[in-house]
Structure 1
């Protein structure tokens, strides 16, 4: 090989190596936006939230009742309230009520006001308890409690059993999930996209909302004492759940 040929070969090799970085640079420059677009397509998601509601019978009555006694001395008031409360609690236990508990014990002075003068006239003691019982038995039991010594029926509300609520929560979650999927399918169908897979699932809650408590006035308590057959209707309780799905496309 002569010197001219050798020199030309070296020059060609040198020029080739100069062009390689430029070619790589051009490739990387064009490849990055394409990769970014593919990545963007890969992580496109739609977020939808579905809601499910189940109505179940409120078969339990949640009752708050109490004994209120007024006497000249604090000791007399407290002792009489304790005696009557003991009789009421014994009755409730004999009827196998659920979740029986004391919710309040109070003792307060009573004053009279005449000619802007305050005078102590006695004391009032109050003991209150709460419990649950089957709704159809509530009217009869309230009548018996008043006869046993209860003087206050503060409120009555209605709830479903724990088992019924748990089952309704599962059903509400199922309905919420199905509704979320239906929403997503409607959007994808309209836009011409293909649903791929669920990327994330969020359960926002499955709560039970009981009917509002119903206060019972003293007049109603007296009516129950006279007519134990007074019907007590529990109504229905709503169990609600919502589910959020993030779906790729």
Structure 2
């Protein structure tokens, strides 16, 4: 009987120790501080991505399409001679053109469009826009400015370094103020070091706006940001 009681007490004692282990582990995990650091890098834009093309209106569909094709060929030949990068057709369209009067729709002709997109250095884009108008371009739909891919990748790394250092510094300041000592980093979360959005230039209503004088295109900056969260045990 005494043996059984001793065995029972031993079992209860072991169970008590086991039940305390999760509590102790939880208390240990609760002694953490979580901080988030931000890192920002600004880099100059050097590349322009342009979309422009030819749009012609006329009464006869085949004539309109032929005129667009001729001017588009001249435009593409010019762009190739200027060694633009990533030149490609971005849109071809032929659609009827209607007039509306007293709720009546009347076919008055056709509209043909041929658009191309390309990239080139910002310091060359103004002159190419002007030359494109001279050979037949009638639309400048979009111009966006961005940094080169290598520059963006380098900026992302620097932003991550800054974000990590910022998080570490915040943790050190808080723990030192409370007379606590950091033990180890429990978790590291990289919340983002995404590529920046291209800088959009104001949209031109037509290529005629670029034919009045030399078109200035001035590069700006892109902002690359990163965020890092550290959980530190103390």
Q: Do the structures match in fold with TM over 0.5? A: yes
Residue matched to 2:204: 216
Distance 1:23 1:108 in 2: 92
Is 1:241 paired with 2:231?
no
Residue matched to 1:38: 24
- CA RMSD, Structure 1 to Structure 2 (Å): 2.2
TM-score calculated relative to the size of structure 2: 0.88
1:75 positional shift: 1.3
Deviation above 4 Å: which 4+ runs of structure 1? none
Distance 2:20 2:103 in 1: 90
Question: Residue deviations 1:58-89, cap 9 Å, x none?
Answer: 11111111100112121111121111111111
The answer to whether the 8 Å contact 1:201/1:243 transfers is yes
Question: Residue deviations 1:128-165, cap 9 Å, x none?
Answer: 11111111111101000001110011121210011110
Distance 2:93 2:42 in 1: 38
Unaligned residue ranges in structure 2 (runs of 5+): none
Mean Cα displacement is larger for which, 151-160 or 207-216?
207-216
Residue matched to 1:70: 57
Distance change (3 Å), C-alpha of 1:134 and 1:21: same
The answer to whether the 8 Å contact 1:102/1:128 transfers is yes
Which of 17, 27, 36 aligns to 2:13? It is: 27
Distance 1:97 1:199 in 2: 50
Matches within 5 A, 1:159-178: 159-178=146-165
- The number of equivalent residue pairs is 232
Mean Cα displacement is larger for which, 117-126 or 159-168?
117-126
Unaligned residue ranges in structure 1 (runs of 5+): 1-13
Is 1:79 paired with 2:55?
no
The answer to whether the 8 Å contact 1:209/1:239 transfers is no
Mean Cα displacement is larger for which, 89-98 or 107-116?
107-116
Is 1:50 paired with 2:37?
yes
Residue matched to 1:225: 211
Residue matched to 1:90: 77
Residue matched to 1:189: 176
The answer to whether the 8 Å contact 1:88/1:149 transfers is yes
